[in-house]
Amino acid sequence: MRSAEDIILRPYITEKSNDGLSDGKYTFIVAPDATKTEVKYAVEKLFQVKVLKVNTASYEGKVKRMGVHQGPRPDWKKAIVKIDVEPAGPKEKYVRVPEKIQKVDKEGKPVVDKKGQPVMVIKKVNGKVKYKVDEKGRVIREKKTYTPGAYLDKGGVLKNPGKKYKTSIEEFGVGQ
């Protein structure tokens, strides 16, 4: 699949496209061979928004003259993208809680940090993480909220890397 920057070329700014901004409709010039699915994934990747609907229209280039010379303008494609203006917010997910034990040094003494607190590590048995269980032997799960782009690292640690690219639809030039 092509990169998102190759699919979305630039915003298409007209009076009609500016009227749709309040409804969450943004208009872009896209690659002529781009599909609706590619446009959807490109917008979601570039602007970190949820796309609800994509409408496209293909246009043939007009024949233009300059003096005695005549030639066609290139064909182009317009995409009207409707985004979710009221996102649900952070998502919640239930994850297994790893069992932690106090870390000890080679002599068997408990290890403490600079503040005097015991250092806890995830318990592993035969290289596999051991999870907390209740009295009936069921794995204990807890609710964790995460933002888009977050992922669970080894041992169930939640990582929020943040945005790699600081882009928004407004920074792209739409709605100014």
pLDDT tens digits along 23-47: 889 999 999 999 999 999 999 988 8
pLDDT at 76 over 50: yes
In a domain, 117, yes or no: yes
The three-state DSSP-derived secondary structure of 7-40 is HEEEECCCHHHHHHHHHCEEEEEECCCCCHHHHH
145 within 8 A of 91, measured Cβ to Cβ: yes
**Residue 52's pLDDT band (cuts 50, 70, 90):** very high
The answer to whether position 171 is within a domain reads no
- Note whether 114 and 48 are same-domain residues: no
- Please give the mean pLDDT across all residues of the chain: 80
Tell whether 57 and 97 lie within a shared domain: no
Tell me which residue range forms the domain holding 9: 4-62+74-83
16: in domain: yes
DSSP string, 77-119: EEEEEEE-SS---SEEEEEEPBPEEE-B-TTSPBPB-TTSPBP
State whether 79 and 100 are in the same domain.
no
Buried/exposed code over 8-23 (b: 16+ C-beta within 10 A; e: otherwise):
bbebbeeeebeeeeee
Shared-domain flag, residues 10 and 46: yes
CA distance 147 to 161: 10
Count of domains in the chain? 2
Say whether 72 sits in a helix, a strand or coil. Answer: strand
- CATH number for the domain including 116? 3.10.540
What's the confidence (pLDDT) of residue 109? 78
Q: Is residue 58 part of a domain?
A: yes
Identify the band that residue 161 occupies on the pLDDT scale cut at 50, 70 and 90: low
For position 110, what pLDDT does the model report? 77
Do 57 and 128 lie in one domain? The reply is no
pLDDT at 169 over 80: no
Please check whether residues 138 and 78 belong to one and the same domain. no
Q: 9 and 39 in one domain?
A: yes
For residue 123, with 0-12 CB atoms within 10 Å meaning exposed, 13-18 middle and 19 or more buried, which class applies?
A: middle
Residues 108 and 133 reside in one and the same domain: yes
pLDDT at 166 over 50: no
User: Could you tell me the pLDDT band of residue 83, with boundaries at 50, 70 and 90?
Assistant: very high
Q: Are residues 108 and 57 in the same domain?
A: no
Are residues 53 and 29 both part of a single domain? yes
- Residue 165's pLDDT band, with cuts at 50, 70 and 90, is very low
Query: Residues 117, 78: one domain?
Result: no
Residue 11 reports pLDDT greater than 60: yes
Q: Is residue 17 part of a domain?
A: yes
Q: Would you state the pLDDT for residue 118?
A: 76
- In this structure, the answer to whether residues 23 and 47 fall within a common structural domain is yes
CATH number at residue 20: 3.30.70.330
Query: Is the confidence at residue 10, as pLDDT, over 50?
Result: yes
pLDDT in tens, 99-140: 777 777 778 777 788 887 777 777 777 777 666 777 777 776
